[in-house]
């Protein structure tokens, strides 16, 4: 009996020792046993902006030099990975002091309603709106929730815009010349655009390239045309369920894509092309037109600094209503409402969006600054994008929003129209079917 | 008393395994099922209980779910036939005493160890409609008519992905089948030869019966791997329903990431349905193989 007890104690002892060793190993691997560290950051920022990594590091160094406070930028890219990281951190309660929310306004609203994002009204409006007045109104509005908004978010400003962007068309001047087109005479209507693309095709040059595998981009162009053909009110009434997608105006929008496909205006493989590949195609002179955002200036510069191109407003499909393009805040940062370093985070964001820092960011990253006093040194092509800011709209500022499954049906439907597997009328019927189903859920 | 102590000892010894299994397998499965009964956006602290509504939507309302299952089934069918036939032929060739046998084994195992993203990028470049190697060769051979937009047309996109998936995966089957072939005693072949059996009869009556357990293993691994195909489909074709290349995993990802706001509950319901289908397929495969062995 005694020997059995000894055996039992020995075995259990070995078992416990085994567990201690395993736990220690896991601790060592995951970094619980910390090595002596450098000074801990006063403010930690998570972001997804690969192209701004070096500029952010430089600004953090300048800030530390000026104030003695250490700011750490942590990059998580691509944006899908970043989004997952943020979602996981909300559940684990490990959000950093400053972070950004990607996606549409409904997602932004969920973060606010869950108590993750600080209301910035007091800081923005202090000293007679000093901070607020530095920004383009279009940049601020996407971070703002008005009274009685559809998401029931308490009114206020919840994000700090770093830059502004809009999505336009661009064309390669050299390829225009090659096809016998005048590069200074850009197409202004949809018919002129089709004619130019046909001439380019005759010269063996592909027309429009864009990353339409990323369906939001195809949705963006379609909504530009929809605003132009039927006006904002009718678009919103469609989202409200008052106008069906089978309406003649929507069919007209879908038909524009059919026409582009039928006339051979679109680059080969556009439906399966991501935007990075599309940018490569345009930068390499494989297509004359691109549909892309103002961030492309930096991308094209990296791919071919000598690319001879210019921006043009999306061609009008109708004279009935104004044509509005997507634009607004490009990237915004928010302060964690549960952060212990809120004051320091706020101070850093105020410094980061000040004139000098914004001018540096614009110069270093070729993005349009959110601060309207920092436009002096931007490149001519960026200035073209800046000129169109007044004609922008964005889903994040619309009073109503379409439901996710309907948006998916819409985007997939447009791809099918381009592929020629469905007619605009069939697509309209299918979208409306999903719309009716989603409306019935309420 | 003695019995109790020994029982306690036994429980203590299996405790670490039970704890690890519970934390990493049972709890996630429970949580997935629990989430599938709720509507949740991934951020809010609260979830809304919706019962089986998400499952109803998966089965009857999601117009892309069953086509996605069909696309995965097509990729699996190509893998079960083309990929495994290729693996068996090459394994049988390498099982013989051929020159450079070890070299071939190494070469055949290169595709499976390559990163799927790298494979997808290389083949995407080969299939590129304007400047890709495939259309370039076809044009040089005077076969202009065959050149096409391989990965961006619904007629060809899924087949191209299925073939590349098979190319990428045949190495696993090759290694397992080769190992299986090498366990068959040579005396059986010699005895069959003495009895006058030709190559086909030796293959039919010696190799196949003894290889059935290996075929079952390879088939189950192929089904599980191919039904869950994701990286190649996503990288090469963006897995869009318009192209007919969406698969169940991309639908789950779509519900979690693309739809605004994210639908984690619905994605979990899709995951549970998909998991059950895979389990059923594996059981069917096992039962079929038992019957084949008995026959």
Structural domains for chain A: 43-164+329-385 (3.40.190.10), 166-327+399-440 (3.40.190.10)
Question: What is the pLDDT of chain B when averaged over all its residues?
Answer: 91
For residue A42, the 8-state DSSP code is S
User: pLDDT tens-digit profile of A119-158?
Assistant: 999 999 999 999 999 998 888 988 999 998 888 999 999 9
Closest CA to B209 of B229, B233, B228, B192: B192
Domains and CATH numbers, chain B: 63-294 (1.10.3720.10)
Hey, which residues does A266 pair with through a beta bridge?
A208
**E strand or H helix that includes residue A332:** strand A325-335
User: In this predicted structure, which of A8-12, A78-82, B97-101 has the lowest mean pLDDT?
Assistant: A8-12
Find chain B residues with C-beta within 8 A of A405's C-beta: 259
The residue whose two tokens read 């318009």 is B242
Of A12, A268, A408, the CB nearest to B130: A268
Q: Is the pLDDT of residue B295 over 90?
A: no
Position A9 scores a pLDDT of 58
Yes or no, beta carbons of A271 and B242 under 8 Å apart: yes
Position A33 scores a pLDDT of 46
Q: What is the rounded average pLDDT of the residues A109-113?
A: 93
Distance CA A280, CA A115 (A): 41
Find chain A residues with C-beta within 8 A of B44's C-beta: 110, 113-114
Q: Is the pLDDT of residue B229 over 50?
A: yes
Q: Tokens representing A204?
A: 């063996």
Q: pLDDT > 70: what percent of chain B? A: 99
B163 contacts: CB under 8 Å, gap ≥ 6: B78, B82
Query: Is residue A248 exposed (0-12), middle (13-18) or buried (19+ Cβ within 10 Å)?
Result: exposed
Q: Is the pLDDT of residue A26 over 70?
A: no
Per the CB < 8 A criterion, the answer to whether B186 and A302 are in contact is no
Distance CA A333, CA A346 (A): 11
Q: CA angle, corner A315, sides to A420 and A281, nearest 5?
A: 65
Q: Is the pLDDT of residue B227 over 60?
A: yes
Q: What is the rounded average pLDDT of the residues A78-100?
A: 91
Distance CA B142, CA A322 (A): 51
Position B98 scores a pLDDT of 76
Yes or no, beta carbons of B260 and A8 under 8 Å apart: no
Residue of A153, A271, A402, A430 best to disrupt the B interface, most CBs of B under 10 A: A271
Q: How many CB pairs under 8 A join A and B?
A: 104
Yes or no, beta carbons of B242 and A412 under 8 Å apart: yes
Residue B125 has a CB neighbour count (10 Å cut-off) of 12
User: In this predicted structure, which of A256-265, B34-43, B282-291 has the lowest mean pLDDT?
Assistant: B282-291
Distances (CA, A) of B115 to B79, B112, B224: 18, 8, 19
Using DSSP, state whether A309 is helix, strand or coil: strand
Distance from the Cα of B78 to chain A's closest Cα (Å) equals 22
Yes or no, beta carbons of A12 and B259 under 8 Å apart: no
Using DSSP, state whether B143 is helix, strand or coil: coil
Position A319 scores a pLDDT of 94
Closest CA to A337 of A78, A143, A159, A125: A159
Residue B11 has a CB neighbour count (10 Å cut-off) of 10
Residue of B242, B250, B257, B266 best to disrupt the A interface, most CBs of A under 10 A: B242
User: pLDDT tens-digit profile of A371-427?
Assistant: 988 888 788 899 889 888 889 998 888 888 898 889 999 999 999 999 999 999 999
Yes or no, beta carbons of B260 and A111 under 8 Å apart: no
Q: What is the ipTM of this complex?
A: 0.83
Per the CB < 8 A criterion, the answer to whether A209 and A302 are in contact is no
Distance CA A291, CA A219 (A): 12
Yes or no, beta carbons of B254 and A408 under 8 Å apart: yes
């Amino acid at each position: 009996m005694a020997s059995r007890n000894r055996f039992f104690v020995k075995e259990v002892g070995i078992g416990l020792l085994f567990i201690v060793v395993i736990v220690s190993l896991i601790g060592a691997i995951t970094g619980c046993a910390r090595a002596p560290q450098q000074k801990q950051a006063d403010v930690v920022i998570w972001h997804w902006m690969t192209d701004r990594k070096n500029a952010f590091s430089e600004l953090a160094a300048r800030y530390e030099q000026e104030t003695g406070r250490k700011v750490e930028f942590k990059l998580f890219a691509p944006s899908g990975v970043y989004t997952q990281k943020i979602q996981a951190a909300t559940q684990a309660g490990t959000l950093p002091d400053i972070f950004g929310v990607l996606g549409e306004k409904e997602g932004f609203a969920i973060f606010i309603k869950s108590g993750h994002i600080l209301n910035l009204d007091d800081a923005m409006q202090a000293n007679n709106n000093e901070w607020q007045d530095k920004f383009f109104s279009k940049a601020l509005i996407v971070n703002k929730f008005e009274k009685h908004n559809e998401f029931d978010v308490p009114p206020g400003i919840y994000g700090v815009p770093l830059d502004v962007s809009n999505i336009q068309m661009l064309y390669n001047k050299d390829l225009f010349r090659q096809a016998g087109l005048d590069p200074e005479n850009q197409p202004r209507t949809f018919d002129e655009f089709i004619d130019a693309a046909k001439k380019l095709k005759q010269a063996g040059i592909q027309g429009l390239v864009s990353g339409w595998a990323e369906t939001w981009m195809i949705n963006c162009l379609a909504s530009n045309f929809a605003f132009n053909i039927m006006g904002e009110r009718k678009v919103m009434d469609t989202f409200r369920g008052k106008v069906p997608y089978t309406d003649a105006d929507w069919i007209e929008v879908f038909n524009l894509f059919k026409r582009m496909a039928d006339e051979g205006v679109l680059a080969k493989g556009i439906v399966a092309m991501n935007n990075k590949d599309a940018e490569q195609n345009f930068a390499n002179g494989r297509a004359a037109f691109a549909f892309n955002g103002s961030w492309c200036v930096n991308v094209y510069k990296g791919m071919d600094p000598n690319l001879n191109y210019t921006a043009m407003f999306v061609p009008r499909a109708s004279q009935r209503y104004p044509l509005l393009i997507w634009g607004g805040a490009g990237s915004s940062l928010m302060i964690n409402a549960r952060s212990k370093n809120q004051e320091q985070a706020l101070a850093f964001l105020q410094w980061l969006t000040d004139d000098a820092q914004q001018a540096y960011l614009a110069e270093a990253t070729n993005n349009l600054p959110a601060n309207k006093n920092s436009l002096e040194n931007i490149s001519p092509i960026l200035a073209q994008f800046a000129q169109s800011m007044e004609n922008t709209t964005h889903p994040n500022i619309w009073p109503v929003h379409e439901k996710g499954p309907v948006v998916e049906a819409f985007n997939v439907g447009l791809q099918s129209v381009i592929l020629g597997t469905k007619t605009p009328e069939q697509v309209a019927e299918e979208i409306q079917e999903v719309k009716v189903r989603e409306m019935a859920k309420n | 008393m003695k019995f109790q102590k020994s029982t306690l000892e036994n429980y203590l010894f299996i405790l670490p395994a039970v704890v690890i299994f519970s934390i990493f397998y049972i709890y996630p499965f429970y949580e997935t099922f629990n989430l599938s009964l709720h509507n949740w956006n991934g951020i809010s602290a609260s979830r809304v209980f919706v019962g089986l509504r998400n499952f109803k939507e998966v089965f009857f309302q999601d117009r892309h779910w069953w086509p996605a299952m069909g696309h995965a089934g097509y990729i699996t069918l190509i893998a079960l036939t083309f990929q495994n036939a290729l693996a068996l032929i090459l394994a049988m060739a390498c099982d013989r005493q051929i020159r450079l046998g070890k070299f071939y084994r190494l070469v055949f195992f290169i595709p499976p160890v390559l990163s799927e993203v790298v494979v997808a990028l290389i083949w995407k470049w080969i299939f590129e409609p304007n400047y890709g190697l495939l259309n370039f060769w076809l044009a040089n051979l005077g076969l202009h008519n065959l050149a096409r937009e391989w990965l961006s047309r619904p007629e060809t996109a899924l087949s191209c992905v299925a073939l590349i998936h098979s190319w990428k995966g045949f190495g696993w089957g090759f290694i397992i089948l080769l190992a299986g072939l090498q366990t068959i005693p040579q005396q059986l072949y010699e005895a069959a030869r003495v009895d006058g059996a030709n190559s086909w009869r030796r293959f039919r009556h010696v190799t196949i019966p003894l290889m059935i357990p290996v075929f079952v293993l390879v088939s189950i691994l192929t089904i599980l791997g191919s039904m869950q195909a994701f990286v190649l489909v996503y990288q090469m074709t963006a897995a869009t329903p318009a192209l007919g290349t969406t698969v169940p995993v991309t639908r789950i990802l779509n519900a979690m990431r693309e739809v605004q706001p994210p639908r984690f509950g619905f994605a979990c319901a899709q995951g549970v349905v998909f998991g059950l289908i895979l389990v059923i397929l594996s059981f069917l495969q096992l039962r079929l193989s038992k019957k084949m062995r008995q026959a």
